[in-house]
Amino acid sequence: MKDTLNLRTFVLVDNMQPQYAAITGTVVKGDVPLAGMSQLYIEMAPGSAVYSLMNEALKKTNAKPGFQIVEREYGEIELHSFSPEDVKQAGEAVLEACGLSLTQRQKPIVVSEQIISNIDAYQAQMINRDGRLGSILVPGESLFIMEVEPAAYISIAVNEAEKSSDVKIITFDPVGKYGRMYISGTESEVRAARDVAMEAIAKIEGR
C-alpha cells in the first residue's frame, strides 16, 4: 500500500491564533484545540490510509486528535498540542509509517485570490448567511478571498494572516478539493494580510 500513497498535504501551524483556534474548535469532533497550540494537518490519498496513520501518531506521541475525515478521494487528519515537539513527533511518526519524506508532499498552489473593496450590504448579508463560522462581515469593509489546492494548506495561510494583521476571520474551510479563506477589515489591513497569506503558501516546498 505504501507505493500507492499520495501525500497531498503536510503542514505544521506553529502557534494557533485566537480566531483561528476558535473557528477550528467549532468543527472538530475530537479534542478541542486552543490558541497557542501547535497543529499538524495531513491529507492523504487514498483516503482510508489516514486511519492507520492516526493510530501510529496517537500511539507514539502525546499529540491529541481533532478530526479524521475520509472523503470520496482524500483523507485528512488533524493533531495538536501545547508542545511543538509533540506535534513534530506526530508528523515524523506518520511519515515513517507511510514510508514517505517531507519532500514528497504536494506543493500548494493558489487557485484564486481577490480583494473586494467597500463590500455592499446585500452581499455582506449573503456571505454572513452562507455557512459563517467566525466573525460578521460588515458593509463597507474590504474582503479578501483565497483558494488553494490541496485544501488543508489554507490553514497556515489563515493563521499567518491573523498573526500579522488586525483582520477578522469570517470563515475558512480546509477540507475538500480547494481550501478557502474569507477575511475582512480595513483596506490596508486586508492587503497586508493578503501579502502574508500568499507568502506563507509560496514558502511551502514540495513536489
Q: Which string of DSSP letters, residue by residue, matches 52-115?
A: HHHHHHHHHS--EEEEEEE-SS-EEEEEEES-HHHHHHHHHHHHHHHT--GGGSPPPEEEEEEE
Q: Which residues contact 48 (CB under 8 A, 6 or more apart)?
A: 70, 75
Cβ-contact 156, 164 below 8 angstroms: no
β-strands 142-149, 179-185: how paired?
antiparallel
Instruction: Give residue 131's pLDDT.
Output: 62
What share of the chain has pLDDT > 70, as a percent?
Answer: 98
Q: Which of 29-43, 130-144, 190-204 has the lowest mean pLDDT?
A: 130-144
Instruction: Give residue 4's pLDDT.
Output: 84
Q: Which residues contact 203 (CB under 8 A, 6 or more apart)?
A: none
Instruction: Give residue 55's pLDDT.
Output: 96
Task: For residue range 136-169, list pLDDT tens digits in order.
Answer: 999 999 999 999 999 999 999 999 999 999 999 9
Cβ-contact 12, 87 below 8 angstroms: yes
Instruction: Give residue 73's pLDDT.
Output: 84
Check pLDDT > 60 for residue 1. Answer: no
The model carries a pTM of: 0.94
Check pLDDT > 80 for residue 179. Answer: yes
* Spatial distance between the Cα atoms of 120 and 101, rounded to a whole number of angstroms: 47
What angle, rounded to 10 degrees, do the helices at 49-60 and 84-98 form? 130
Task: For residue range 37-79, list pLDDT tens digits in order.
Answer: 999 999 999 999 999 999 999 999 999 999 999 988 899 999 9
